[in-house]
Structure 1
Amino acid sequence: MTCVTLYGTGIPPATPRVLRAGALSAELEDGALRAIRWHGIEILRGVNYLVRDPGWGTLPASLSNLFIEESDEAFAVSFEATVGDGYQYDAEIQGSADGRLSFEVTGMASANLETCRTGFVVLHPIEGVAGEPVEVGHADGGREETRFPRLISPAQPILSIESLTHRPVPGVTAVCRFEGDVFEMEDQRNWTDASYKTYVRPLSLPTPYTIQAGTRLTQAVRLEVTGQPTAPAQVRDGIGVTVGPALDLVMPPVGAGIDPLCLPKRAEPGLGLLVGRLAGARGDVETLRAYGDLARRAGAELFLELPLACDRPLDAELGEIAGRIDAAGVSVAGVTVAPAAYLKSYQPSGPWPEVPGFREVYRAARKAFPGVAIGGGVHAFFTELNRARPPVDEVDYVSFTTSPIVHAADERSIWESLESLPFVMETARSFCGGKPIRVGPSAIGMRDNPYGVAPVENPDNRRVAMARRDPRQRGTFGAAWYLGYAAALAYEGAASVALGALEGDFGFVGTPSQRVIVALAEAKGAPLLKVEVSGGKSVAALAWRTPAGPVLWLANGSPAAVRVDVVGHGAVEVPAGGVEGVALSTP
């Protein structure tokens, strides 16, 4: 299978170099460390030195003079890096068999550098960490006993960090120290990253800021791990899947978005719902008629996103929209309403946009759309919903979207994002008061950029964080990710899931994802079956019962084919970055 078939681009993924020193191991990839392990236990998910541009995009670093030295007891890495035309840094990494690891960087600005962040980010994984104790050494010398949050924190859970001490498993203690600036933590599960991120420079300081020419920056991250796991890391020979009994859950409606920049002429029959946005000139009667026609052809319910300009009384703005819908003769199942200002992100502490409050918006929508379900929440990501939680007593459902490439765009990070979805849904349920939660339209690429002017351009079809057009949308990996995404949300009780779009940058028609999304949509209302996956995280599974018997779908997020042992049903070969659906025999 070619790289283009897998990933939608001819550019192959980076290949990590595994570094080992006794029981300590780490993977070196493009100048960053990943999967730092001790006796096979993941201690840190990653350590990276990066430069963020004024729109929070990550500027690429060109590496040179890479030197790697290894022995049984130690490893050492050094390299030089250039970012743009005016920033260079030297990096040194050292690891030893006694559990010590250091990553030191000295940077120099040869020209003024406008940036939102320049320095280290350190990622703690969520498995075995979420909700667990951590001891914080603060920059002022104080110490604090707290916990990594279990529910996703909308604000920074830990501030002014000099060190973090936690116990990833019984018998092991990890101390991570930070030097060269003030660090703080954010809960990256807000963006579906499977990590807690400790980063340089507090968000309370203005961004972007300028590093003046001639400035020299020195930072370091130092890790010390001691002890041994009381139970060794379990290693299974291959991947196993067990399909169990029916759960008290059914397959939710699965559908797609409608990209107003690329209105299709036809819709895939059988989709459970379509979601279209009305905004500005793209909210005219002809656009609405096109939306309605697509929904009729697909046999799907139509939901509309209404980002409100709030430049006149709400009754007038919503009344005009309702008039357009009537003029178009469109049947609408629900409208998700919010001020358009909330397409941008705000810290929980504010300042907040000067627009009508959610309660006022919802009440005006009730008047304008009698008999239509009113949705609350945001048209942007879960982050923005978590920070601006709506009064759910005024709405019929709550909605949000996600994208896995806000911070990183490699396949491993995208696949790992599936780990965060149960926490996303658990957190949403904690403040949604039992209201249905509708997710999407979600895709790998970003429809909107709440943190900058617009999504990042990707003219060269590369793996680019914060890009609208992502190549995986057209590859088998995109189909695998969609399956894993829908599976995680279905098992968490999502009321509906909208994936990608019919056509355009997020289009699935004519791609490997089409088969998956159609199958998911056709399963609407089917009883979900419990599935357990053992032996690794590269495979996601979803099973439901049909009149003919159980159906199992498997998604493989790894770059190699995997043989999955389906307990009681034999082995299934799942291609690299691909999917496989099988009908299981009934005993």
Structure 2
Amino acid sequence: MDALTDNILLNGTNTIAAKPLLLKAGKLTMQYQNGNLRYIKAADVEVIRMIYAAVRDENWGTVEPVVLAENIIQKDTSFSINLKVEYKALPIHYVADYAITGLECGKIIFDMKGTCVTPFRKNRIGFCILHPLATCEGKTCEITHADGNTVKYHFPKLVSPAQPFLNVAGMEWTPANNITAILKFSGDIFETEDQRNWTDASYKTYCTPLALPYPVWVSPGDVFKQQIELTVTGDFTDIDIDKTKHFIQINKNKKYLLPEIGVAAGPALDQLTNEELSLLKNLRFKHYRIDVKVGSTGWREKLISQAQEAVLLQLPLFIALHVNLQFAIEDIDALYNDVKSAGAEVNQVLLFQTGRKTTDNELLHRILPVIRERFPLVNIGAGTDAYFAELNRQPVYAKNIDFVNFSINPQVHAFDNPSLIETLDAQTAVLAKAKTLFPGKHISVSPVTLKPRFNPNAAADSSVICDTDDTIDARQGSLFVAGWTLGSIAALAKGGAQNITFYETYGAKGFFASLNQAEQEVAPFMPGYQFPMLLMFKLLSQFSGKVHCKEVVNDNPLDLSALVLCADNNKELIVLANHTDEVLSIGIKSDKSYSVKQLTAELLKQDNWFYEWNNQSISTTAATKNIVSVDLEPMAVAILAN
């Protein structure tokens, strides 16, 4: 365990991210990091979530930027930044110079001049602006079109399948009373999409309309020039950027039912020790998701093996059945007989259509009677194995099914820690929209993974990702992801999900590390090492009967997540997760005393941290003036019981 440094335990990697630089332009405050401006605020009102430039390849992959040179001049109420950035992922090679200026009058100017070094096909090169939900949702936005005309629209409340704003040359809106924000664009035509479709918690204004053909070939020497100008005016107070304490308040009168949580099949379980099998059993998941791709090589052998694994884990099967319109009834009979022979119970069948993003009504019309005849007591669903965007744009015909499904991963557009935490708010939002699309139907979120499993929008024949590196995130075994998982459970419970599939059983995409050498090269954890997220599911397994989550009002969800669990027997736990690499001082509005235990990087250095956790000494914190105070260690997860 000596090889696991603090940073690996916190973030899954030894690479230490640079701290964001706090800047001011007049009374505006913001953070600068790696060529991007984030969290631009007027007093405590977030005006812009992020301004950045993106290079997207022909399959909508994002090319990671590398800063080659950077010069920053920072003053008390102004700044200037000049940087050179390289985007290189063969065949793409593009280099850009940026100038970012913050003026005392509250204006920010962001210039780009970039040159293509190699020929390549691109879907996008240029600026993107993220608009925060809290200060934009439902509000009027006056759009200046390319011809100079202005029209008033609204930021959508429910997740919009189509772009709410097109042909944009300028925008004006009021993030709060007495505060006006104005954006001006040059160098391309912009438009705005609702990024909640991919669980990004923002609206995104981006360059080059999607109605134009893409991908587009670019040649060496091609130059891209763009400028964004942001002006914020109004009556707001200059405030201190730093905040020393975070507060949460528990609404005892509002509860959400905890969804039924299952796990997906991963590597074959025959590699596990009896102790590891026992560990998985004791997590008391509600289902075991397996993907059955009828007609693929070895599909029946894989089905039989995974059905036997479900029996071994004492879990009912959640069968994700991938078929096409030409399915054979004999194959469905084979599926039924193989599951029956294995002695496996089935509680859900989820129908996906091979080659389509969502399940087509014609397939449902043909196959539903066949499935119901063989599995008469089983819930049957349909939807998409990809993002909510696909379901929002092509809703399934849900009249004759029991539930509708979509998957979630937080890394469709961005990959850094703050961006992953931002997605948690959007998880609740997509469920709200799903309920309006499919009234009265249960909503399933299956699976939740850290990275995309495939690319449903690939231009080339590469919709399925097979490379191990592409689907593994080294943070799976970190405290950061334990906290993200806590936030995801809280968000999906609040949104009213009926059931969720989280991760795989084990391996680099599961709950503890495997013997797989290729996985260990990506995620540096010893075989058998139990990932910190395991604690979350161990806690959930201790509850019996119906479990509810109390509503939590959290004044800073980007730094902190909270989940309050309560059961019919009055057992209650408060679970907190620090999403930052600094100690957070947290105040809980309560008049009770609580016992407190924290899972920290220091504890994870123990050879058997889970055993040490169970035997850890418990501290007690009492309320002072109806506030319970907890100092939460970096990335730590804390359990408070009264």
Same fold (TM over 0.5): yes
Q: Structure 1: how far apart are the matches of 2:347 and 2:465?
A: 29
Q: Structure 1 counterpart of 2:486, which letter?
A: L
Counterpart of 1:30? 34
Equivalent residue number for residue 307 of structure 2: 292
Retained in 1: the 8 A contact 2:482–2:532?
yes
Match of 1:331 in 2: 345
In structure 2, distance between residues paired with 1:71 and 1:527:
50
Counterpart code for 1:291: Q
Match of 1:152 among 147, 156, 159: 159
User: Alignment partner of 1:582: what SS?
Assistant: strand
| Residue 288 (structure 1) shift | 2.8
Aligned with 2:485: secondary structure?
helix
Secondary structure of 1:278's partner?
strand
SS of the equivalent of 1:116 reads strand
The 8 Å contact of residues 363 and 394 in structure 1, kept in 2 or not, is answered as no
- Tell me by how many angstroms 1:56 deviates: 1.4
Aligned length: 568
Helix, strand or coil at the partner of 1:219: strand
- Among candidates 58, 78, 82, match of residue 86 of structure 2: 82
**What's the counterpart of residue 588 of structure 2?**
566
Q: 2:150 aligns with which of 143, 149, 160?
A: 143
Specify the SS of the correspondent of 1:9: coil
1:397 aligns with 2:455: no
Q: How does 1:102-117 map to 2 (within 5 A)?
A: 102-117=109-124
Of 284-293 and 59-68, deviating more is 284-293
Q: What is the distance in 2 between the residues matched to 1:14 and 1:281?
A: 46
Matched, 1:504 2:507: yes
Q: Distance in 2 between matches of 1:263 and 1:144?
A: 63
The corresponding residue for 2:454 is 448
Please list the CA deviations of residues 400-457 of structure 1 after superposition, one character each: whole Å capped at 9, or x if unmatched.
1100011001000001111112211110111111111121220212222212324495
Q: Secondary structure at the match of 2:399?
A: helix
Which residue number in structure 2 is paired with residue 576 of structure 1? 634
State which drifts further: 467-476 or 518-527: 518-527
CA, structure 1 residues 426+89, in 2 after alignment: closer, same or farther (shift >3 Å)?
same
Q: CA deviation at 1:100?
A: 0.9
TM-aligned CA deviation for residue 291 of structure 1: 2.9
Farther off after superposition, 571-580 or 281-290: 281-290
Q: 2:365, 2:227 → 1: CA distance?
A: 47
Identify if the C-alpha distance between structure 1 residues 202 and 366 changes in structure 2 by more than 3 Å, giving closer, same or farther: farther
1:510-544 Cα offsets, whole Å, 9 max, x none, are: 21111112222443622333322235541111112
Is the contact between residue 264 and residue 502 of structure 1 (CA under 8 Å) also seen in structure 2? no
Aligned residue among 175, 182, 187 for 2:182: 175
User: What is the CA–CA distance in structure 1 between the aligned matches of 2:556 and 2:387, rounded to whole Å?
Assistant: 32
Of 294-303 and 445-454, the range deviating more from structure 2: 294-303
SS in 2 for 1:3: helix
Question: Partners in 1 of 2:82 and 2:575 — Cα distance?
Answer: 44
Secondary structure at the residue paired with 1:59?
coil
CA RMSD in angstroms, aligned pairs only: 2.6
* Superposition TM-score, scaled by structure 2 size: 0.83
**Cα distance change, pair 306–196 in 1 and its aligned pair in 2 (3 A):** same
Higher mean displacement: 575-584 or 330-339: 575-584
Identity %: 29
2:261–2:501 contact (8 Å) kept in structure 1 = yes
**Using a 3 Å threshold, how does the CA distance of structure 1 residues 63 and 457 change in structure 2: closer, same or farther?**
farther
Cα drift, residue 302 of structure 1: 1.9
Residue 302 in 1 paired to residue 305 in 2? no
Match of 2:38, SS?
strand
Segment drifting more, 476-485 vs 67-76: 67-76
Task: Show the counterpart of 2:13.
Answer: 9
Map residues 506-521 of structure 1 onto 2, 5 A cutoff. 506-509=509-512, 510-521=530-541
Q: C-alpha separation between the residues in 2 aligned to 1:436 and 1:488?
A: 16
Shift of 1:234: 11
Contact 2:267 2:506 in 1 (8 A): no
Shift of 1:233: 10
- Deviation of 1:219 (Å): 0.8
Deviates more, 1:215-224 or 1:110-119: 110-119
Against the structure 1 CA distance between its residues 41 and 530, is the aligned structure 2 distance closer, same or farther, given a 3 Å change threshold? closer
* Distance change (3 Å), C-alpha of 1:283 and 1:383: farther
Which amino acid letter does the alignment assign opposite residue 181 of structure 2?
A
Matched with 1:474 is 477
- What code does the residue aligned with 1:523 have? F
- The structural deviation recorded for 1:42 is 1.4
Q: Distance in 2 between matches of 1:549 and 1:313?
A: 49
CA shift in 2, pair 1:368/1:79, >3 Å? same
Q: Secondary structure of 2:185's partner?
A: strand
Determine the C-alpha separation between the residues in 2 that align with 1:176 and 1:76: 19
Structure 2: gaps of 5 or more residues: 513-529, 594-627
Q: Helix, strand or coil: the match of 1:184?
A: strand
Which of 398, 415, 419 in structure 1 is aligned with 2:421? 415
What amino acid is the match of 2:637? V
SS class of match (1:341): coil
Q: Is the 8 A contact 2:114 2:225 kept in 1?
A: yes
The answer as to whether partners of 2:86 and 2:94 remain within 8 angstroms in 1 is: yes
Contact 2:353 2:360 in 1 (8 A): no
1:300-449 matched pairs, under 5 angstroms: 300-310=315-325, 312-313=326-327, 315=329, 317-343=331-357, 356-449=362-455
- The one of 51, 55, 74 equivalent to 2:59 is 55
- What is the CA–CA distance in structure 1 between the aligned matches of 2:369 and 2:233, rounded to whole Å? 57
Tell me the SS of whatever aligns to 2:135: coil
Mapped pair 1:275 → 2:296: no
**1:181-214 residue CA offsets vs partner (Å, 9 max, x unmatched):** 1111111111111111111111122322111222
CA contact (8 A) 1:45 1:124 kept: yes
The CA distance in 1 between the partners of 2:141 and 2:290, in whole Å, is 44
Following TM superposition, by how much is the alpha carbon of 1:314 offset from its aligned partner in structure 2, in angstroms? 5.9
1:304/1:534 Cα in 2 relative to 1: closer, same or farther (>3 Å)? Answer: same
2:69 matched residue in structure 1: 65
Instruction: Give, as a single letter, the amino acid of the residue that structure 2 aligns with 1:450.
Output: P
| TM-score normalized by the length of structure 1 | 0.90
Tell me if structure 1 keeps the 8 A contact 2:490–2:549: no
What CA deviation, in whole Å up to 9, does each residue of 1:254-304 have, x standing for no partner?
A: 221113678764333211222111125477344334333433344433211
Q: Indicate conservation of the 8 Å contact 2:82/2:99, yes or no.
A: yes
Q: 1:516 to 1:377 in 2, by over 3 A?
A: same
- Structure 1 residue runs of 5 or longer lacking an equivalent are 345-352, 460-466
What CA distance in whole angstroms lies between the structure 2 residues aligned with 1:449 and 1:105?
29
**1:483 aligns to 2:486 (yes or no):** yes
8 Å CA contact retained: 1:529, 1:544: yes
Change in 2 beyond 3 A, CA 1:130/1:562: same
1:515 partner letter? L
Question: Partner of 2:562 in structure 1?
Answer: 541
Deviates more, 1:569-578 or 1:299-308: 569-578
Q: Contact 2:308–2:342 (CA<8 Å) still a contact in 1?
A: no
Structure 1 residues 563 and 426: CA distance shift in structure 2, 3 A: same
Instruction: Tell me what 1:240 maps to.
Output: 247
Conserved? CA contact 1:392–1:398, under 8 Å: yes
Identify if the C-alpha distance between structure 1 residues 230 and 151 changes in structure 2 by more than 3 Å, giving closer, same or farther: farther
Deviation at 1:480, TM superposition (A): 0.8
Question: How far is 1:48 from its partner?
Answer: 0.9
